[in-house]
Amino acid sequence: MTPRHSGLALLVAILWGINFVAIDLGLHPGGGAQMPPLLFVAMRFTLVVFPCVFFICKPDVSWKAIIGVGLLMSAGQFGLLYLAMALGMPAGLASLVLQAQVLLTVLLAAGILAERPTRRQLAGVVLGIAGLAVVAVGRSLVAPVLPLLIVLGAALSWAAGNVVARKAKAASGLGLVVWSGAVVPLPLAGLSLLVDGPAAVSGALMDLQPVTIASAIYTAAFGSLVGYGIWNRLLGLYPSSAVVPFTLLVPVVGMTTAWLVLAEVPSPAEVAGGLLLLAGVAIAVLRAPGPRRGGQRRVEGLGAGLGGTFAAGLADDDGRLAAGGGVRAAEERGAEGRGVDARGAADRGADVRGAADCDPAERGAAVRGADGRGVEARGRAVPETAVRGAEVRGADGRAAGLRGAGRRDG
């Protein structure tokens, strides 16, 4: 990545890390008041959808996929996250525990999409689960563990949304963010009326504090639209393995910001468990050094876009964003297919065409290399042993089997 694009990726990690503190401030505006969490989520996604839905085209996926992503990745994830933070989950710790969605996405993709995880990813999942257990034990010593379990439920909902988005394979991640967000406001506003009561909802709307309004604007504009606009662009320019690791900075920024703004200090057990969790996530998302073998499907880049916003790291086979998040398994085209097996062919990566159709005096091949340039080799006889049965693989991994080339006369 260029320094400029690396800086943009770092900016996104900062925006997403600060997002958790912004949510906490909006939920607890001061003076003993508290914003109903489900109503607050509905406010946020109202700002995400309008007026952007009038300018961003509907993604080329089914309505079933849009509704599924909206219910799981947006309503489910953020409804549970905001609820947990309203019940006392610290903002910094929430930014850390939500990283578990990467590990959960690996497991769900393996079970539902048959995307076989590597041994490295499985090792990361095991280490991350151990870290979560340490965090849970440490948290239970100083506060109720229910909010932490609710955040894990949010991570699971995010992971399930990742799988739906991966299966949909939308070409526009930002379009899916906006259009799936339209699913959120009405259901969560109605649920808030049932849970909190009409009096609490109307009172909160009539007495909106400036900090709550500012929080909703930040999370919608900077956390979702600006953050994902940049993130989508980077995933369109670079392989996910180059972009996704920046999301490991999200909990670092989140916990640091929570310490500076909210005076949150995690316990030693929470710090130790958090380090184990981050190590597991790093093992799961960072590609091992060295060449990769071809012909194997890998679950990579899952859960990019961590940090309490949409899942923006599910890259499709071209490395482009599929949904905000997260969650798409990236398979870099050409990375596994490079290298040539061309027995008897002079140029590696050659695509030899028409050897059997030419007259004996003009037998030859148009040799096209991996860079797309062609070299005409005409008037040259092609020996049977040099062409028959040759399997030529190009840079895109496609094979051309050459059979029955003409024999040399005389």
Write out pLDDT tens, residues 85-126.
Answer: 999 999 999 999 998 988 898 899 888 888 888 888 899 999
| For the ranges 114-118, 315-319, 361-365, the one whose mean pLDDT is highest | 114-118
Enter the pTM of the model: 0.70
What pLDDT is recorded for position 141? 83
What pLDDT is recorded for position 83? 96
Of all residues in the chain, what percent carry a pLDDT higher than 70?
68
Tell me the two tokens of residue 358: 């030419």
pLDDT at 130 over 60: yes
Which of residues 335 and 187 earns the better pLDDT score? Answer: 187
Place of tokens 């050897």: 355
Which of residues 350 and 240 earns the better pLDDT score? Answer: 240
What pLDDT is recorded for position 170? 67
Annotate 230-243 with b (16+ C-beta within 10 A) or e (fewer): bbbbbbeebbbbbb
pLDDT at 353 over 60: no
In 244-297, which ranges are continuous DSSP H helix? Answer: 249-262, 268-285
Give the whole-angstrom CA distance, residue 20 versus residue 24: 6
| For the ranges 171-180, 276-285, 335-344, 361-370, the one whose mean pLDDT is highest | 276-285
**Secondary structure element (H or E) that encloses residue 93, with its range:** helix 91-97
What pLDDT is recorded for position 171? 63
Say whether the peptide bond before residue 51 is cis (omega within 30 degrees of 0).
yes
